[in-house]
Amino acid sequence: MKVTNDYNDFEIIDSSNGYKLERWGKYKLLRPDPQIMWDNGDLESIYHDIDASYYRSNTGGGHWTDKRKLPDSWVISYRDMKFNIKKMGFKHTGLFPEQAYNWNYLREKITNEKREINVLNLFAYTGGATVACMMAGARVVHVDSSRGMVDWAKENVKVNHLDETKIRYIVDDVLKFVKREIRRGHKYDVIIMDPPSFGRGANGEVWDIEKNLYELLVLCQDLLSDKPLMMLVNSYSGLSPILLQNLLKLTNKRKGIISCDEIGLPIKKNDLVLPCGIYGRIDYE
């Protein structure tokens, strides 16, 4: 498992009974996490300085309850990168801190190249990987079906004072966009994707990871440049690293080194590691 432990503005303080207590900058949030199956006591009774909690509903969904007044958004840093944090409707904050492992890897690979790298970021969300690639000097096409997430990504690019002439923002269904890019003959040196289990495109198109991920991986082979650098797939959908490795082996047409693993974050209270998803990567020769 790849674990990121060099944050200053983020930490998991404690965890118990399906909840994790996190510090995001100067604010402490209590959020549910299904991976936390142990009992370390009632976190709300132990910690009296929690700023906001997200409570799950027995009928689905949930809601935030503010214990103290929080701003609509605030900025946290990871190394030299900055990100806007907000309390979203479904427990999220707009950032997955464990992805710092992949951000660091992307930046190193792109920086070491002595050429301009073109990146395609699919299901690009609020742009953590987009910011990382741009910090390394890459050009990025950022694609997500949610206009709200794309607008948030624009905020993250702006707060990092990045060159906005080096990014294109696309609000579209990923599969439709990829097929159009193939017809246009466009090519990319790096392809990143973070596909959800289920979702809907900009015009109601249905995405189902079990039905569509294999097709997308096949299509993306036709978008790779003559000298590709990397393909990176992230998943929070319960897939195993071996399953993702199998998919990459079956769809990859180029010589490359495939690696797959879990990513996680340390829990300060007791030196546990919280599993946070998986990645699969092809480093091309």
What structural domains and CATH numbers belong to the chain?
2-85 (2.60.40.1180), 97-284 (3.40.50.150)
What was the pLDDT predicted at 73? Answer: 97
What was the pLDDT predicted at 200? Answer: 81
What was the pLDDT predicted at 201? Answer: 75
What was the pLDDT predicted at 29? Answer: 98
Tell me the pLDDT of the chain (285 aa) as tens digits. Answer: 999 999 999 999 999 999 999 999 999 999 999 999 999 999 999 999 999 999 988 777 889 999 999 999 999 999 999 999 999 988 999 999 999 999 999 999 999 998 999 999 999 999 999 999 999 999 999 999 999 999 999 999 999 999 999 999 999 999 999 999 999 999 999 999 999 888 887 778 888 899 999 999 999 999 999 999 999 999 998 889 999 999 999 999 999 999 999 999 999 999 899 999 999 999 997
For the chain, first and last CA: distance in Å?
A: 24
DSSP characters over the chain: -EE----SSEEEEEEETTEEEEEETTEEEEEE-TT-------HHHH-S---EEEEE-TTS-EEEEESS---S-EEEEETTEEEEE---TTS--S--GGGHHHHHHHHHHHHH-SSPPEEEEES-TT-HHHHHHHHTT-EEEEEES-HHHHHHHHHHHHHTT--GGGEEEEES-HHHHHHHHHHHT--BSEEEE---SEEE-TTS-EEEHHHHHHHHHHHHGGGB-SS--EEEEEE-SS--HHHHHHHHHHH--S-EEEEEEEEEEEETTTTEEEEEEEEEEEEE-
- The torsion angle over the Cα atoms of residues 9, 196, 155 and 203, rounded to 10 degrees, is -160
What was the pLDDT predicted at 60? Answer: 74
What was the pLDDT predicted at 219? Answer: 98
pTM (two decimals): 0.95
